Structure 1
């Protein structure tokens, strides 16, 4: 596939994934599509930082738009301008790559820390908002490297409000993480594509020149 065509498909893919990242992060801010939790600031801190909006969304979107413009508009410019555009595309891809990586880290952290919810304090009858799956007792880390997870029965009973927040958070954090991984893959592929474009230019230009030459030859033959 030519460098220009690769840039078009990669750029459009990055744009679509960036918009999807924003949507997934917004779903995390509205558990069960209820806005009262956001108004009361009863949302996970990882979701409140909105990494899927500014990192996996805006930063990747900038790279996707620039890459798409390079793929569609580079035909009509000179060879030197093509090399400059591909170099600029590589820089934007690095920016998008950093954004996707940051969003992926926040997604993984949000998934591991569990949801922020109303739960019963262990050993007490009181209810409080917090992270029931983050154990305050870290003494086990000094004697063992094993990671223990709550039993399935306790997982279903830990969070009282919002209802079924465990499933909601896990599904959207996993989806956001997968989107960020795809963004990273596309950014890396476009980075390689941009490096090649800096040195060899845009192969679509050669095809255009060949096409024009053939058309000119046909017109000359017709006149003769």
Structure 2
């Protein structure tokens, strides 16, 4: 008995491994990577709120406003984390969480990737601004007298270099409290910035992956 012509036509429309891109595997790797980077962004931002693991500065609001904005928690953290769960689910093709076919799943993961891209960009802009502004600390005047809590008024750019980078050496002579705030501030803001940059790169790659997924479906789909 020959198979129904409609069944044959439907089977011919299924993407074969030779013709389709491995969008499912790419989505799995991208989703899991975004999940780890989101947790790293959240952790970095939380550490910025507790210099030297001391919570008294946060209670007195003696913390950089860029750290208190919590962009690494809600933008580079939760927004990216929720999107990564959807992208990973699409990559593993969990059918019970899917209301439509694989192409629709990939389209939804594209929307999630755009949301994650927006969150990572916001977090990156805030973290770079926080890095360049310098730490919020108890400043010291030239005569050695203590001054009010503020951001360093020194030139935060190193003009002697071809590449404009923060002149962090000027912070150490200005800040007297919290202790070692210069290293703490710069380390975690750089860590958060790097995680946001990687998030942006992964989101852009997933958006390209979605285009192939919508056109071709999952490459690891069985015939």
Which residue is 2:7 aligned to? none
Cα offset for 1:155? 3.1
Q: Supply the distance in 2 between the matched residues of 1:168 and 1:97 (Cα, whole angstroms).
A: 27
Which residue is 2:115 aligned to? 95
Is residue 57 of structure 2 the alignment partner of residue 57 of structure 1?
A: no
- Report the CA distance shift for 1:10/1:150 in structure 2 as closer, same or farther (over 3 A): closer
- Report the CA distance shift for 1:54/1:158 in structure 2 as closer, same or farther (over 3 A): same
Q: Secondary structure at the match of 2:48?
A: helix
- 1:58-97 maps to which residues of 2 (within 5 A)? 58-73=78-93, 81-97=101-117
Q: CA contact under 8 A between 1:63 and 1:93: conserved in structure 2? A: yes
The one of 188, 196, 199 aligned to 1:172: 188
Q: TM-score, normalised by structure 2?
A: 0.80
Listed one character per residue, the Cα deviations across residues 126-184 of structure 1 (whole Å, up to 9, x for unaligned) are 4210001466xxxxxxxxxxx797694x5322101000101110011111100000100
Q: Supply the distance in 2 between the matched residues of 1:87 and 1:148 (Cα, whole angstroms).
A: 40
Q: Secondary structure at the match of 1:41?
A: coil
Higher share of residues assigned helix: 1
CA RMSD of aligned residues (A): 2.5
Is residue 197 of structure 2 the alignment partner of residue 181 of structure 1?
A: yes
Q: Supply the distance in 2 between the matched residues of 1:149 and 1:19 (Cα, whole angstroms).
A: 26
Listed one character per residue, the Cα deviations across residues 165-210 of structure 1 (whole Å, up to 9, x for unaligned) are 01110011111100000100110111111111111111111xx22x
Is residue 172 of structure 2 the alignment partner of residue 156 of structure 1?
A: yes
Cα offset for 1:123? 6.3
Identify unmatched segments of 5+ residues in structure 2: 1-20, 156-163
Identify unmatched segments of 5+ residues in structure 1: 136-146, 210-224
Cα offset for 1:125? 3.1
Q: CA contact under 8 A between 2:138 and 2:146: conserved in structure 1? A: no
Which residue is 2:134 aligned to? 114
Which residue is 1:30 aligned to? 50
Listed one character per residue, the Cα deviations across residues 79-99 of structure 1 (whole Å, up to 9, x for unaligned) are x61111111100110000010
Is residue 43 of structure 2 the alignment partner of residue 7 of structure 1?
A: no
- Report the CA distance shift for 1:45/1:122 in structure 2 as closer, same or farther (over 3 A): farther
Q: Supply the distance in 2 between the matched residues of 1:94 and 1:185 (Cα, whole angstroms).
A: 12
Q: How many aligned positions are there?
A: 195
